[in-house]
Structure 1
């Protein structure tokens, strides 16, 4: 199985890449670092085209859209959340997902029963609205909506799409007080990806298999 993981240089992406590699899968993990083996800046259409050209039609059995940013942590409502922060966040967390899927669609179709996993967050949920982090919440909600609509359009092509909350994970983004380790998150997510099929396409699930409220 060939797995492509965006943002695989650290955090959950790196943990997922390690987990798939350990079980013998072929893993292409991307990073926006120009010195990486597989460079991809998900916000840059030219970078997407170059990455797709390097794959040269190689089938992709599982695409994990993991790359993302959380830029507005600690911003205050009265004077925070600058417009550029909104633009940069949506470019990575929403447009970046769309461009990745769009560009790699031929590779996904070349695989047998290709799958797409979109890493969103519980902060995307309309039912969980404790306030704050407006940009991140809005971008992850948009990624959730994008994933569910992609699931509808790609089902006739035999491609399944799942959207996932990885848990509150102890990473640079999640912080040291988070609930679970990267290993726990990766282990649970791999199980979710394995179970994804056309019967469950469009699902919004947490790392532990529980359906997450929209």
Structure 2
């Protein structure tokens, strides 16, 4: 039975993302998700007693999906692959674009002062912020990450995707940014501003 409950819970989260994609974060209500899944509201409340619980779980779900996509592209978890593999995966995933739901959920997660969004923790595992005394190569590598973030935001907000050839050249340029020697392999170093591990719902 626990497996059945988990399957239903995952189905609710997938439906909730669909609601956000269609109606925005404000449209994410218990009634809307119950209607999307075909569940009764009491059945939904069994898994998520409040809208806040549901929204937090949706944030975790989408961040975890991003984390898994990164692992697929990199060929392993961040602690098991090279810095070059992490950087290439990050650039490629950013260049792949995003959904309206992802963009809205990211913005929503950043709107609460003092919060530790699951997105931030996932990103820090793959592309940690360098320390204040980072050397020039580390700064250049971080600049490539920021450029990839900008590419992701451009694709999400411009309303028109970049031409495929231009996107490919941008990806190749960002992947080619030199990495510091000490980051050539092994786990990512934690920067001074690293976020804590994500909380599980």
Q: Same fold per TM (> 0.5)?
A: no
Higher helix share: 2
Larger Rg: 2
TM-score computed with the length of structure 1 as normaliser:
0.34
Higher strand share: 1
